[in-house]
Structure 1
Amino acid sequence: MYEIEETGGAKIGLAQATWPFVKLQVNKNVLRLNASILGNLYFRPSDIISIEPSSLFSGAGIKINHRVNGYSTKVVFLTSGSRDLITRIASTGFLNNTDPIPVEVEEEIVKYQSSGSFPMRWPAVIVFAIIWNLLFLGDQLGYFGNADNNAPIGTGAQLALAFAFFFALITLLSEPFSRLILKEGRKTKEIRSFLFFMMLITGFMFMMISVIPI
């Protein structure tokens, strides 16, 4: 089956992901927009109202107008050459496909659409945010013994960064842990690029903070 694949960025609602964290895949049965932590969006041909070049305000790319209730109405894939990309999407047969979708493909689409675009469980996100903020707050309140030196960062910041780093690492490596973090049926590979980026940033910041004299 002929399929196209393009790497770029995305705007979904008010959130934005930059290149190269978003992948667009299209064949005649399904359009997938994997925007990592922002979501993995699946569309049938019948879900699409139109695909058009996005406005300058939204960023260069294509705007996917759709009728999926659980998704944001604003879905934009950011890339150069929007008209050429629309032509390539049309060449897959997706836009004009009225044939029945294979059962296994339909089941996958239903699974992803029913769980919404955001791949993580909200309780896990809330717990992460609470721990992250409490560790930073600990520096300001002197819980880690650095309240008297007016340092803006200290042990609490280091612990917060280490926590975020290992949170991402364990999510990547441990399937039981990832099941606690991700919605049912979602896979770690959907947010792998985000997790690697999170480890890179937090690891770098941890090393920088560690060498700052406090």
Structure 2
Amino acid sequence: MTLTADRKLALRERFMTVDTANVADVLDELGLPDCGLSSDLWPIKSRLEKMGGWAYTIRGQMTPYPGTGDPKKMDAVSGLTPGHLSVWSGGGAEGVCFFGELIARGMQYRGCVGALVDGGIRDIEWLDRMNFPVYTRYRTPVQSIGRWEVNAWQVEVYLPGATSARVRVRPDDFILADVDGAILIPQEVAEEVLTRAEALTEKERLIRADLEAGATLPDVLAKYGHV
């Protein structure tokens, strides 16, 4: 079933209230154990912030080319809509930045809610001042123009995984990232995963309340089962 734009935004707001750890546990229960993304993808802000949105994929590659810009990159980001999270794939640790502050501002203006970059970024001081979360593989002052070029967008891409070498990311899969790392939720199970993660979050809240009230760990395990 295709989700409407309004439904996607509503689900995103709910996803922002659950933790990646609970989402990961639910995915394990559903037989989807390899959705975690590599811990090499780290948040740029000094305080670790949460990020979540529907994947809008942008793919590129290292390739020498003439010119003073990357028009394909501009075309790619022009398709972003509210609730999208830009996912940049193409080359991993190649030593150049895929984007910086100015393009991030343009993406944010279109309603993009963050960026997950399997590559490099720059202008980190300015990005840090924006209300725009970014998780990336590395930092570098070296621009991509003439070196790295966008070759496709809104296609299936691969990102490095936590428990597997690669995780396939498709347009409109959901990406959630927080202090524990980043994880992919396949679009077909996004609503089920969210509902079950919300229930698990509530169970944990009750367990904490019981422990703070004096219950022992064996008491809460007997009452609630393993969490």
TM above 0.5: no
What TM-score bracket applies, with the shorter chain setting the length?
Answer: under 0.3
Pick 1 or 2: higher relative contact order, CA cutoff 8 A, min separation 6. 2
TM-score using structure 2 length: 0.27
Q: Which has the higher helix share?
A: 1
User: Based on CA coordinates, which of the two structures has the bigger radius of gyration?
Assistant: 1
